[in-house]
Amino acid sequence: MSDIKITTLPNGTRIVSEFIPHVKSFSLGFWFNVGARDENLSNNGISHFIEHMLFKGTKKRSARRISEEIESTGGYLNAFTSKEQTCYYTRGLSDNVARSFDVLADMIQNPLFRESHIKREAGVVIDELRDVYDNPEELIFDKFEEVIFKGNKLSLPVIGTEGNIKKFNSDELRKYHSSKYNPDRLLIVASGYVKHEELVNLAEKYIAGRSRKRTQRRDKFIPKKASDLTLEQNIHQVHTIIGRSTVGFNSKKRSRVKVLSTLLGEGSSSRLFQAVREKTGMTYQINSFLNSYMDVSSFGIYFSTNSRFAGKVLDVVLKEFNKLKKEEVTEKELNKVKNYIKGGTLLSLESTTNRMIRLANSIMYFNRVKTVDEYINEIDSVTTEDIMKIANELLDENKLIKVVLKSKSSVS
């Protein structure tokens, strides 16, 4: 059993907690509704860069002290930035909730942004960026979303560009931080052995009561015509994504797309894994994906293989697409897929961090706590007719976009 409570402070900060009595630990996240989607070409990467800089010290704590205060008690501290969110989070034993809260609150409100720290961290982030370019499995997803989200800020990569990273300075970071990191953008979420009243008291104590600021609205995604993209690199394999944009979290159709995506390419019993890897042996990696945002998702199939087989694998993928458009799936196969999704969802709830992230996403995307049972009911409600209909909407070959990364010596 768990107990979920929500409190909104006068300054707009929301606190959400889930009490789990049978664990001795907690996961605590400080979430801001800010990411690459709130940037532009000239400052792209600033949200991610600020995430790095918040670990570099405050007026009260050095970078070393920030990490030591958490790790010396057996805890864990980390952060991540996405296109719509930034999260700073910690895990620890239940006795250390107050200390962890104090550290996170200090980090998010009192960063130093010293020029010497900025210059040093720029080198670290540029190394991270170059790692992406050295890893075609990561790079191709950035390029795919750049193509299908053309004309919208969702096309911008989270990490930014090397030119932007090199020019960030203290004044620019402070201005962006002060405009985005205000209390009404802050969502504090905890899961585990945590008391809601304690979290509320800690928030009232440590979160400064700055006045609310007007929240800038994000540009709504409007699909635009996109073209295929081929890039050449010094790599051995050919990496391919074929897919498109589709509905986001705000659409009731998303559960149908999720089931279709899972049926196609999630797990070793999926259609594409069986048709390509098991039957032909032409690839080691092939899978579907559904990367969702508020009003849109990127959906597609990713695979890597050698240049001789790339075209043949793509033919098999398109053949499987056509099957789904013409032949209704059986109830047996559909139930297997549903059980796979439900099993993965329930197994993920063994982790307090996953539970914390699920709660945060629920509040940010639905403005309420969407229960696990509600999600499972949505999956269970998908019918064989739904799958055929969504397949014909989504898998129209004329509307699919192909992005390819290949060796400079590959022959098409």
* Active-site amino acid positions: 51
The reply to whether 120 and 241 lie within a common domain is no
Are 86 and 49 a contacting pair, CB within 8 Å? no
Per-residue confidence at 392, pLDDT binned at 50, 70, 90? very high
Burial (Cβ within 10 Å: 0-12, 13-18, ≥19) of residue 155: buried
The reply to whether 245 and 197 lie within a common domain is no
Q: What is the pTM of this model?
A: 0.95
Sign (positive or negative) of CA dihedral 398, 404, 408, 409 = negative
For the segment 235-240, the average pLDDT, to the nearest whole number, is 96
The pLDDT assigned to 36 comes to 98
Are 384 and 328 a contacting pair, CB within 8 Å? yes
CATH number at residue 151: 3.30.830.10
Residue 1: pLDDT above 50?
A: no
The reply to whether 108 and 24 lie within a common domain is yes
User: Count of CB atoms within 10 A of residue 350's CB?
Assistant: 9
The reply to whether 151 and 195 lie within a common domain is yes
User: Count of CB atoms within 10 A of residue 280's CB?
Assistant: 13
pLDDT tens-digit series, residues 141-150 = 999 999 999 9
The closest alpha carbon to 64, from 103, 122, 95, 105, belongs to 103
Distances (CA, A) of 58 to 26, 51, 112, 250: 24, 13, 5, 38
The pLDDT assigned to 116 comes to 97
Are 375 and 346 a contacting pair, CB within 8 Å? no
Are 189 and 359 a contacting pair, CB within 8 Å? yes
In a domain, 76, yes or no: yes
The pLDDT assigned to 210 comes to 62
Quote the number of domains for the chain.
2
- Of 206, 239, 267, the position where a domain reaches its end is 206
> Where in the sequence is the domain holding 346, given as residue range(s)?
229-407
The pLDDT assigned to 217 comes to 82
The reply to whether 16 and 111 lie within a common domain is yes
| Whole-angstrom distance, CA of residue 156 vs CA of residue 178 | 22
pLDDT tens-digit series, residues 274-309 = 999 999 999 999 999 999 999 999 999 999 999 999
pLDDT tens-digit series, residues 252-272 = 999 999 999 999 999 999 999
The reply to whether 58 and 167 lie within a common domain is yes
The reply to whether 376 and 234 lie within a common domain is yes
| Tokens linked to 12 | 């707009």
| Tokens linked to 42 | 């000239």
